[in-house]
Amino acid sequence: MSSVCRAPRETDFARFPDSAPIVIDNGASTFRIGWAGEAEPRVSFRNIVQRPRHRSSGETVTVVGDTDPALMKYFDCTRTSIRSAFDDDVVYQFEYMEYILDYAFDRLGATSEVGHPILMTECECNPSFSRARMSELLFETYGVPSVAFGIDDVFSYKYNQKLGNCGEDGLAISCEFGTCHVVPFLKGQPVLGACCRTNIGGFHITDFLRQLLSLKYPYHVANFTWEKAEELKKEHCYIAADYMSELQIFKNNKEEAEGKTRYWQLPWVPPPRDEPPSEEELARKAAYKEKAGQRLRDMAAAKRSQKIADLEEKLSGLEDLMDHLDGADESQTTSILGRSGYLSQQEIKSDILKATQSLRKAKGESNGNEENADASGADKYPLVSVPDDMLTPEQLKEKKKQILLKTTTEGKLRAKQRRAEEAALREKQEEERRTENPELYFDELRARYLELSEKVDQRKRQKVNGNNNSSGAVGRGERLNAAQKERMRLLTTAAFDRGKGEDTFGMRDEDWLVYKKMSKENEEDDDGKDDDESELARIASKIQEVDPTFVNKHDAVEPAPDPHKVRPLTAEDFRIAIGIERFRCPEVLFQPGMIGVDQAGIDEMVSISLRRLLEDESVKERLCQSILVTGGSSLFPGMIPRLESGIRQFRPYLAPLKLVRAADPILDAWRGAAAFAASSKFGKQTFTLADYREHGESLFHRYNIVYTL
């Protein structure tokens, strides 16, 4: 284990005799250590421990107190967190306490053993277990000759009593880091049986402020570190004289609320502005684009030239093959076809025609007239005109497929021609009706348009419901027509022979008629849908000729919504406003229920402590005339007036009341302890190493620690 420490000051042990006591104010927030009789502690640091790993060596180091960001960049802190030896101002983690004492004694100048008496502060009613473990640590690890413990609030009260800020009879209200205490004093001595404690302190105020800011600005959570929240608390938070009235100000009076709001500007760099490109930039981009386009055109031209050369070579070879076949007899023809891989001369002619068309297309020429197109369509099926006795069994199957495809294609052409003739006849009849009675013709068009529109919409709704079918909805099988159901039946039974259960499909000519039947039904079904939509578009165009304001709802395109535009971030987005949080966070000292702690506030704690005193009202009045407020959390502006207002609610009408803040709420506890350690009374309140070894831990259950100062 290694320790990361600041450079120690000059050695102080040589400047003091062996009997000079060391005074330690072991606060949950700050650790202070120094010599008895001095006005200021020699060493003061934050009472925390962190154990990161070194990035290069991987060694675990111990970092005590505040860290230097320039130093911490060499360590990996992602797998560790800040640790404290305290839990509600009571020391429980003595492993971390040992790291802290090592660092403190090293800063003070100790090398191996600490041969000086120790006076250490602790909170009210500290458990004997914690005090015993602390004594064991000091005796066994550091070899101190004697130890004494005292209450920090008592030291602060007695120090301010010497300064004349409070009397012998009074109350000490301590607002510390993790807890708050109220301790009554009679004749200069604390009455611990009447003290009162609540587990609310400066830690909870800082944590509450950090949570509120994180909820208010969730996109800046990383900036709300503990250190920054502590800094904002000390700079901007205050105690409201009347919490509800202060809330009403922020709710109703905007101007006054704005005056009480503080702002914290986070680092922000304005985004670069998009300036229009210059003429030189535009010219450069245009030249680059033209160069890239020319390169693509050259590549396309080279590819087209290569394709033309390949097609010419293929066409020349096919023509030479046909010339050989024309001059050969029947036996030579069969041999030539076998070597070339063709089955017949018709197949070669078909390839020649395809190659010729591809060559013309590559050269950008026309593919010829309609007769050539029809001829090419006929030559797509070369095996149709070949006799069956000249074909192999595989070629016979291919011939049957070509016959089926040719028949289907010719049927489609005839149906298309028939529909064109029907459309021409319908146009002629509609023109005659329009001439005879234009109003009746227009009404018929309207009615026909509504009928077809409803039919098309119904089909679209069925399609959508079929895709988004839920439990209880109509299934697809319940919406199929007879032709579609028959086609599904054929699909499920076509591949199986009913007798043998084997796949014998295609062995018979009748099997191939299934495809023809299915294609015909599918064609009729699809053509029906296309016919309805085309007829709807035709009727809509006719209506628009008569009524130009008419809009076909099936052609209307809904305008696409504008894409969400992201607003550019400005300096205002990086400005943190601290308004209500300024007085809401410290309010937890008076209303712990705001953060879920079911305990009394510090004003109510005074009333509870006075009720626990078995004294008459005159003694309580005397105590209330000397109330000392100490601790770091007592430095909030408005603390004394708010405490006075809260305590008066629990006191009789016009009862005397006087509150005063300690001379230095943070250092008075250490100064009071240093003054006591330098007095002659200190030696009578310590217990030595011999006492510890003789009695053990039982010593702390019956030993009076520093109560009588």
* 654 and 588 both lie in a single domain: yes
First to last CA, the chain: 40
pLDDT of residue 512: 60
Looking at the domain assignment, is residue 398 inside a domain? yes
Q: d(Cα 425, Cα 50) in Å, to the nearest integer?
A: 95
Q: d(Cα 484, Cα 488) in Å, to the nearest integer?
A: 6
Per-residue pLDDT tens digits for 359-369: 888 887 755 54
Q: Which two tokens stand for residue 137?
A: 């640590």
* 354 and 308 both lie in a single domain: yes
Looking at the domain assignment, is residue 339 inside a domain? yes
Looking at the domain assignment, is residue 589 inside a domain? yes
* 651 and 696 both lie in a single domain: no
Nearest Cα residue to 522 out of 554, 481, 563, 552: 481
Tally of CA atoms within 13 A in the half-sphere of 335 that contains its CB: 6
For the ranges 16-20, 313-317, 598-602, the lowest mean pLDDT is seen at 16-20
Nearest Cα residue to 301 out of 312, 289, 309: 309
* 142 and 226 both lie in a single domain: no
Q: Which two tokens stand for residue 333?
A: 């023809």
- 401-420 mean pLDDT: 83
* 43 and 143 both lie in a single domain: yes
Whether pLDDT at 343 is above 80: no
pLDDT of residue 112: 66
Looking at the domain assignment, is residue 176 inside a domain? no
* 35 and 124 both lie in a single domain: yes
Q: d(Cα 406, Cα 352) in Å, to the nearest integer?
A: 20
For the ranges 377-391, 614-628, 665-679, the lowest mean pLDDT is seen at 377-391
Which contiguous run of DSSP H or E holds residue 603?
helix 602-612
* Whole-number average pLDDT of the chain: 82
Q: Which residue shows structure tokens 């430095």?
A: 635
Taking residue 344's Cβ as centre, other Cβ atoms within 10 Å add up to 18
* 140 and 17 both lie in a single domain: yes
Which contiguous run of DSSP H or E holds residue 136?
helix 128-142
Looking at the domain assignment, is residue 401 inside a domain? yes
* 158 and 256 both lie in a single domain: no
The confidence band for 555, taking pLDDT boundaries of 50, 70 and 90, is low
Q: d(Cα 315, Cα 249) in Å, to the nearest integer?
A: 96
Q: d(Cα 447, Cα 452) in Å, to the nearest integer?
A: 9
The domain in which residue 411 lies consists of 388-436
Domains contained in the chain, number: 4
The confidence band for 474, taking pLDDT boundaries of 50, 70 and 90, is very low
Looking at the domain assignment, is residue 123 inside a domain? yes
- 26-36 mean pLDDT: 93
For the ranges 422-431, 515-524, 537-546, the lowest mean pLDDT is seen at 515-524
pLDDT of residue 196: 93
CA 655 to mean position of chain CA atoms = 57
- Among 308, 330, 363, the domain-final residue is 363
Tally of CA atoms within 13 A in the half-sphere of 281 that contains its CB: 4
Per-residue pLDDT tens digits for 411-462: 888 888 888 888 888 888 888 888 888 888 888 888 888 888 888 888 777 7
* 618 and 688 both lie in a single domain: no
* 250 and 304 both lie in a single domain: no
pLDDT of residue 470: 45
Looking at the domain assignment, is residue 115 inside a domain? yes
pLDDT of residue 137: 92
| pLDDT: which is higher, 469 or 417 | 417
The three-state DSSP-derived secondary structure of 44-84 is: EEECCEECCEECCCCCEEEEECCCCHHHHCCEECCCCCCEC
Nearest Cα residue to 117 out of 669, 676, 672, 702: 676
Does this model's pTM top 0.75? My answer is no
DSSP letter for 351, please: H
**Alpha-carbon dihedral 215, 217, 220, 224, rounded to 10 degrees:** -60
- Among 399, 421, 436, the domain-final residue is 436
* 352 and 419 both lie in a single domain: no
The confidence band for 609, taking pLDDT boundaries of 50, 70 and 90, is very high
pLDDT of residue 1: 37
| pLDDT: which is higher, 528 or 281 | 281
Q: d(Cα 610, Cα 186) in Å, to the nearest integer?
A: 12
The residues that bridge with 64 in the sheet, in sequence order, are 49
Looking at the domain assignment, is residue 117 inside a domain? yes
* 303 and 354 both lie in a single domain: yes
Q: Which range, 206-215, 366-375, 511-520, has the best average confidence (pLDDT)?
A: 206-215
For the ranges 79-88, 203-212, 252-261, the lowest mean pLDDT is seen at 79-88
What CATH number corresponds to the domain at position 94?
Answer: 3.30.420.40
- 261-286 mean pLDDT: 87
